[in-house]
Structure 1
């Protein structure tokens, strides 16, 4: 922060994968307020701030725009903030070269550009109904997803390195595992959702062929994997990698099965509708709620944490 405010008259902040709800402006609000408060404390003239919000083109940017208007109004007490929306995949270039000073990617880069091609081409389902076959193929599925994540995340880092100024900062958070946890070798973030869909197959709601050809483009790496990919790509210095629980005990006690079901629907509805059709979404939500209420053990993502990574672009 001190480096930015002392050296330049303007700061560009980008949020990659902002979504469309109230959280769309949550991270940038914290960053903007921190910059203005720092300048006030140090009695410095605040820099001109420009905020860029990015997500896929089918995101609800009308809703994002409304949140941006409210955000700008709240920020008026500190100073003017310019805003813009940048639709597009963050697996492609989004911003001009050496223009961004601070970039966020919260709960977004675990979404892959697409599911592993070798699984799709080989007709190997991400989730086998047969327990023995699923366990036999498990290492193959894990390895395919890990390779795809490495390829995508390396590209993501390379693109952002082109867009950030020298010394620019990037903060990334995503679901994953600590390398010390053996659970990371046997679980994927979508395991519980695949179990739900398989249950719907057993009740005739979803066709088996449809589930066998369905691949969720998502992967949760370990902290060791993240560090290795970042070091191999070599554009950034790692300031820190931290792991923290997805939910604390207080959060768990206040979250109802219905809330969990709605959260699962919000996250997975677009890809479920695209593959299975809109008619199954209500039953998917109901299935999630019933299994959460029953405490189905397959839903416990043992060892799952949020990994937070702080990076500085090398000069």
Structure 2
């Protein structure tokens, strides 16, 4: 599997698109907002600039794509009003793999610019936004040109499926039945990829630049903790299709996700070992699998069937291109209907939580 050519979220605005099934990512961005605002505000107040260059790596497409950029612009605009400064110009780079649905993003830009002019006035900006297709496991920008780098829900995706000495039989990610060598392969691949990511960004970021990264992780020391159980249920669904004769067993055995959920200790050790950035902070919070937020919705009433459908649509939106590439598109509907049933059964017995890391970094 050539990950850069295959890995992308479902495009468009249909029922199974990422744009229609990304409420969880929006909640994560909202919860990470104080860290982003604190970091960008500290950057600007300590080093005011006539032009701020911001890059969002793994931007995807849909309603969340310009959300962080809007937050950053609002924060800088407010600071400028407080300090009686002229608002700087903004140059924004939206990066994702070439297979990303950039056309959907570009179609939203005229309305975005118009809204900025209406809310901020004609003297605001200017703000220019452009797409940068390419893997963030390669160089993307000239040396020392980016002031602020952001990435949300992208760095858990690896540059490739880890090379394995043993078959991860019946599993698509780490599971209780995975051989120890498979665990080691995933851990080592994440270490290599995250170290490379930090090294590349250290060359592209300005001397006083900042970076805020949000990714899925785990609280448990053991890599086979309950945080990744949602992948086990997808493996179980694929194995059911094998039992029904819809796909071959060998196909499942040869399919592994280019994905890893590290512990915070792994992240801290890699940042420290790579040495380009100072770890300014690492916050951890949970989100329900279905993106519901009971704290903000007092009328919330749990419905495992609705929740199961939401989770199945979310996972389908982010994995369908990978699954279609390996298994073909004829089994997709059957697979995710089965997956929804397993999610429903699981949520009847216990909660499902995604663990999220918000990592704030400063250039050394």
Give the TM-score normalised by the residue count of structure 1: 0.89
* Equivalent position of 2:44 in the other structure: 4
Local SS of the residue matching 1:217: coil
Equivalent position to 2:324, from 269, 273, 282: 273
Check whether the contact 2:238–2:252 (CA below 8 A) recurs between aligned residues: yes
Distance 1:2-1:256 versus aligned 2 partners, 3 A rule? closer
* Equivalent position of 1:124 in the other structure: 167
* Equivalent position of 1:261 in the other structure: 312
Structure 1 residue 64: Cα displacement: 1.2
Distance (Å, rounded) in 2 between the aligned partners of 1:210 and 1:297: 31
* Equivalent position of 2:140 in the other structure: 94
Structure 1 residue 249: Cα displacement: 5.3
CA RMSD of aligned residues (A): 2.4
Check whether the contact 2:44–2:76 (CA below 8 A) recurs between aligned residues: no
Q: Does 1:168 align with 2:209?
A: yes
Task: Show structure 2 runs of 5+ residues with no match.
Answer: 1-40
Give the TM-score normalised by the residue count of structure 2: 0.77
Task: Show structure 1 runs of 5+ residues with no match.
Answer: none
Equivalent position to 1:114, from 149, 160, 177: 160
Q: Does 1:139 align with 2:180?
A: yes
Cα-to-partner distance string for 1:256-307 (whole Å, 9 max, x where unaligned): 32222111110110100110011111112211222222237899767x4101
Distance 1:201-1:111 versus aligned 2 partners, 3 A rule? same
Check whether the contact 1:138–1:186 (CA below 8 A) recurs between aligned residues: no
User: Higher RCO, 1 or 2 (CA under 8 Å, sep at least 6)?
Assistant: 2
* Equivalent position of 1:293 in the other structure: 344
* Equivalent position of 2:65 in the other structure: 24
Q: Does 1:148 align with 2:148?
A: no
Check whether the contact 1:196–1:288 (CA below 8 A) recurs between aligned residues: yes
Which is richer in helix? 1
Distance (Å, rounded) in 1 between the aligned partners of 2:154 and 2:111: 24
Check whether the contact 2:89–2:127 (CA below 8 A) recurs between aligned residues: yes
* Equivalent position of 2:75 in the other structure: 34
Q: Does 1:57 align with 2:98?
A: yes
Local SS of the residue matching 1:104: strand
Distance (Å, rounded) in 2 between the aligned partners of 1:301 and 1:191: 13
Please say which of residues 235-244 and 4-13 is displaced more in the overlay: 4-13
